[in-house]
Amino acid sequence: MVLAIAESERVRGTTSPNPPVGCVILDSAGRAVGFGGTQPVGGSHAEVMALKEAGTKAQGGTAVVTLEPCAHYGRTPPCTEALREAGIKHVIHAVSDPNPSAAGGARILEEAGITVESGLLRQEVSRGPLRAWLHYARTGRPHVTWKYAASLDGRIAARDGTSRWISSETSRKEVHDLRAKLDAIIVGTNTVRADDPALTARDAGGMPLARQPLPVVVGMSDLPAGAKLRRTALHLRTHDPDEVLAALADRGVVDVLLEGGATVAGAFLRAGRIDRVLAYVAPALLGDGPAAVLDAGVSTITDAVRLTVEDVTMSGPDLRISAVPQT
Amino acid sequence: MVLAIAESERVRGTTSPNPPVGCVILDSAGRAVGFGGTQPVGGSHAEVMALKEAGTKAQGGTAVVTLEPCAHYGRTPPCTEALREAGIKHVIHAVSDPNPSAAGGARILEEAGITVESGLLRQEVSRGPLRAWLHYARTGRPHVTWKYAASLDGRIAARDGTSRWISSETSRKEVHDLRAKLDAIIVGTNTVRADDPALTARDAGGMPLARQPLPVVVGMSDLPAGAKLRRTALHLRTHDPDEVLAALADRGVVDVLLEGGATVAGAFLRAGRIDRVLAYVAPALLGDGPAAVLDAGVSTITDAVRLTVEDVTMSGPDLRISAVPQT
């Protein structure tokens, strides 16, 4: 399953609105003989890719796959069919398919005499490569990660507005790698005016990475004439997070990174439309300067937006905190 | 040495201005036969306490001690003498004594034919129980830990000023336990007016712990007539951190907890008189409300007070971040 997760991560960011699934085929002796990840929309699913590589060695073997194999005719034939035809005897999957039209794969496999095990490394998969897609499958809305970088005392810039760089080079590189795995990046018009960002995913040398997310600007005001995003971005003239997410879902966007600023972050928080907070906290104190979020709709302490910390790691000298809203 | 550190922790907060040292005596076969910690001022040092328990079993044995044994006649005779007389053959200590009047213990022991090893678990001791005292011995100033509790976005209260409770019960209990191990707690007059704190160390049931730190209020204005601290606290009418620390050093204070508010914290930061930052960060977002520190003397990003994270742990649902200023 660890290898299947790696396949899943490899294709992440290239499959939306389909899930980035990973699959490994083991032959009857338990040797890994085929690897596959979901191909871009219209292409083969992970199981079919892995079976292709395995060829006849799949006969009597096991398919290890991050998501329950699909049972429906969509753009491609059902994977349950492909697994059966290849002579697979066992299927082990991490996560069941929450999608009513595709679900039921496990039952169909079992009816074909294939043993099915579910739940292996479920949490790793459901919090990892399939997190955004599972959210999308359950709610119909893209999954929103709000990312910000701030000092230990919660400032995203100094008194004079300078912010380059609060966070370390390591953290900034991590964010560029993350951007390349997502479908869209949202900023507000204030951020465009203040920072004129390109919102591209770049490597350490500043060169654009192969895969680029859709840049999205949210807000009523026009973008400045020379703004980098004026030519590249989708500009959504609304302040309503649900309108933004609906427009993105229509474009096949599943996994969204919200990069600010404080006003847009506040609007998404008030609407309950932030599914994960990713905070890069630099061990520095500023004592003045703008905050990461404005007006989260909280006026007294008992109304605080409470989160649960999922994970804390060091990113160079910075803390990288991943937290999700309490439900 | 781990046992000696435990002895050291046991007496921490009761020995200032002397160091909270721990000592374990091993007999000639390596069995632990005596344990001791530094007694309150005027009482015996750790080595003497441990030798007393060991009695004649110390003959030919080893003394494991967190600090190099002292070699001078102060309020008590030198420990080097006591070790020699008890027939100790080996001394293992974690940290050398930086105090010129007490130092040289290792050399004197060696001249008496005792083998001396230094440096075992040095970092654990010098960052742990002896941290404040080593700072005090080197600089002549009490060691200052600035502690605060804030939300992930750096707010210490909501818009309406409510702050009970931002941090978890676990974190608040930790702070009460910490208070009992320190010599003094500083707050500003603003905090007295706003919160009317008692600054006592209490147990989970709200009962005062046996050992209480000296409460100190810093600032020019008078304390309100009914304030709890009016009867108990030392009120220092100054805004100068160095005057505060000098007055406390005169009273034998070595280890200080600065509990705010934001103005006092700013003054200590600007003066470079914060030796450690202990932040309890609750996984919550407020989007408005007062910040943990005001005016740290930083106007642009390159002047940020940069810290190094020493340690991050979970305290219940909260993050407990310990960081020290970069030198």
Separation of alpha carbons B152 and A153, rounded Å: 9
Q: Dmax of chain B from CA atoms?
A: 69
| pLDDT at residue B101 tops 80 | no
Looking at the structure, do residues B189 and B293 belong to the same domain, yes or no?
yes
Quote the minimal CA–CA distance from A260 to chain B in Å. 13
Distance CA B80, CA B108 (A): 7
Contact list in B for residue A263 (CB cut-off 8 A) is: none
Partner-chain contact A287 B293, CB within 8 Å: yes
Residue B312 above 90 pLDDT? yes
- From CA A183, how far away is CA B115, in angstroms rounded? 67
Question: Helices marked H in chain B — which ranges?
Answer: 2-11, 46-54, 79-85, 105-111, 122-127, 131-139, 169-179, 189-195, 229-232, 241-250, 262-270
CB of A56 less than 8 A from some CB of B: no
What pLDDT was estimated at residue B5? 97
Q: Is B288 on the interface with A (CB under 8 A)?
A: yes
pLDDT at B175: 92
Domain end position, chosen among B104, B134, B164: B134
Give CA separation, A286 vs A160, A317, B292, B294, in Å.
11, 17, 10, 9
Does B79 show up as a binding residue in the annotation?
A: yes
State the pLDDT at residue B208.
85
Query: Quick one: pLDDT band at residue A101, thresholds 50, 70, 90?
Result: confident
Collect all residues with Cβ–Cβ distance below 8 Å to B294 and sequence separation of at least 6. Answer: A287, A288, B262, B263, B265, B266
**Within 10 Å of residue A327's Cβ, how many Cβ atoms?**
5
At A286 the three-state DSSP class reads coil
Q: Residue B44: is its pLDDT beyond 90?
A: yes
**One-letter amino acid for residue B96 of the chain:** S
A249 and A285 in a common domain: yes
Under 8 Å CB pairs connecting chains A and B tally to 172
For chain A, the farthest-separated pair of C-alpha atoms sits apart, in whole angstroms, at: 69
Q: Which one is catalytic: A47, A81, A110, A117?
A: A47
Give yes or no: residues A207 and A319 share one domain.
yes
B160 is in an annotated binding site: no
Asked if the Cβ–Cβ distance from B283 to A154 is below 8 Å, we say: no
Range of the domain at A31: 2-134
- The reply to whether B108 and B192 lie within a common domain is no
**Which of B292, B261, B265 lies closest to B154, judged by CA?**
B292
Question: Is residue B151 part of an annotated ligand binding site?
Answer: no
Q: Is B272 part of the contact surface with chain A (CB cutoff 8 Å)?
A: no
B265 with B199, same domain?
A: yes
Provide the pLDDT for residue B204. Answer: 79
- The catalytically annotated residue of B47, B68, B81, B174 is B47
**Pairwise CB contact (< 8 Å): B317 & A308:** yes
* E runs forming strands in A96-182: 115-118, 143-151
Q: Is B137 annotated as a binding residue?
A: no
Of A36, A2, A39, give the one whose Cα is nearest residue A19.
Answer: A39
Q: Annotated binding residue at B162?
A: no
- The pLDDT score that the predictor gives to residue A23 is 98
CA distance A181 to chain B (A): 26
Band of the pLDDT at B211, cuts 50, 70, 90? confident
CA distance B210 to A199: 58
Q: Is B300 on the interface with A (CB under 8 A)?
A: yes
Which residue shows structure tokens 């310990």?
B322
pLDDT in tens, A245-262: 999 999 999 999 999 889
User: What is the structure's pLDDT at B309?
Assistant: 97
Tell me the average pLDDT of chain A: 94
C-beta separation of B67 from B19 below 8 A: yes
Mean per-residue pLDDT over chain B, rounded: 94
Cα dihedral: B32, B38, B39, B41 (round 10): 160
* 3-state secondary structure at position B47: helix
Q: Which of A153, A291, A301 sits opposite B158 (nearest CB)?
A: A301
**pLDDT tens figures, B125-175:** 999 999 999 999 999 999 999 999 999 999 999 999 999 899 999 999 999
Q: Which of B285, B306, B311 to mutate to test the interface with A (most CBs of A within 10 A)?
A: B285
Residues B125, B184 within the same domain: no
Annotated binding site of A for NADP(+): 149, 165, 191, 195, 199, 261-267
What is the rounded CA–CA span in Å between residue A121 and residue B233? 56
pLDDT given at position B244: 98
Number of domains in chain A: 2
> What is the pLDDT averaged over residues A104-121?
95
Lowest mean pLDDT among A54-68, A297-311, B100-114, B165-179: B100-114
Tokens of A49: 């890719």
Q: Which residues of A touch B323 (CB under 8 A)?
A: 152, 283
* Cα–Cα distances in angstroms (integers) from residue B219 to residues B120, B145, B197, B235, in the given order: 43, 19, 15, 8
Residue range B49-93, pLDDT digits in tens = 999 999 999 999 999 999 999 988 888 889 999 999 999 999 999
Distance separating alpha carbons of residues A84 and A82, to the nearest angstrom: 5
- pLDDT tens, position by position, A120-154: 999 999 999 999 999 999 999 999 999 999 999 99
How many Å apart are CA B171 and CA B247, to the nearest integer?
Answer: 30
Is B167 in the same domain as B212?
A: yes
How do residues A19-43 score in pLDDT, each as one tens digit?
999 999 999 999 999 999 999 999 9
What residues of B are in contact with residue A284 (Cβ under 8 Å)? 304-307
A123 and A88 in one domain? yes
Surface of B (140-159) touching A: CB under 8 A: 150-155, 157-159
Q: Please, which pLDDT band fits residue A208 given cuts at 50, 70 and 90?
A: confident
- H/E stretch holding A304: none
Q: What is the mean pLDDT of residues A100-106?
A: 80
pLDDT score, position A313: 96
A159-194 per-position pLDDT tens digit? 999 998 999 999 999 999 999 899 999 999 999 998
Residues from chain B that touch A294, judged by Cβ atoms under 8 A, are 287-288
- Asked whether the beta carbons of A173 and A280 are under 8 A apart, the reply is no
Chosen domain end from B89, B112, B134: B134
Question: Of the candidates A134, A158, A176, which is a domain's last residue?
Answer: A134
Asked whether the predicted pLDDT for residue B226 surpasses 90, the reply is yes
The answer to whether the annotation marks B149 as part of a ligand binding site is yes
Same domain, A89 and A151: no
Does the structure show a pLDDT above 80 at A226? yes
CB A66 within 8 A of CB A5: yes
Asked whether the beta carbons of residue B283 and residue A309 sit closer than 8 angstroms, the reply is yes
Question: By CA distance, what is B274's nearest residue in A?
Answer: A285
The answer on B305 and B168 residing in a single domain is yes
Nearest to B104 by CA among B58, B129, B68: B68
Same domain, A158 and A126: no
Q: Is A40 on the interface with B (CB under 8 A)?
A: no
Residue in A160, A281, A305 nearest the CB of B299? A160
The answer on pLDDT for B284 being more than 80 is yes
Distance CA B68, CA B110 (A): 12
Q: How far is B133 from chain A (nearest CA, A)?
A: 25
CATH code of A262's domain: 3.40.430.10
Instruction: Answer yes or no: do B104 and B153 share one domain.
Output: no
CATH code (residue B122): 3.40.140.10
The pLDDT score that the predictor gives to residue B73 is 84
Residue B47 is among the residues annotated as catalytic for this protein: yes
Closest-CA distance of chain A to residue B287, Å: 5
The predicted structure's pLDDT at residue A203? 83
pLDDT band at A205 (very low <50, low <70, confident <90, very high): confident
B305 touches chain A (CB under 8 A): yes
- Tell me how close the Cα of B197 comes to any Cα of chain A, in angstroms: 19
Binding residues of A: 45, 70, 79, 149, 163, 165, 179, 191, 195, 199, 202, 259, 261-267
With a pLDDT cut of 90, the percent of chain B lying above it is: 88
Q: State which amino acid sits at residue B54.
A: A
Q: Do B283 and A306 touch (CB under 8 A)?
A: yes
pLDDT at position A65 is 97
Q: Which chain A residue lies closest to B284 (C-alpha atoms)? A: A306
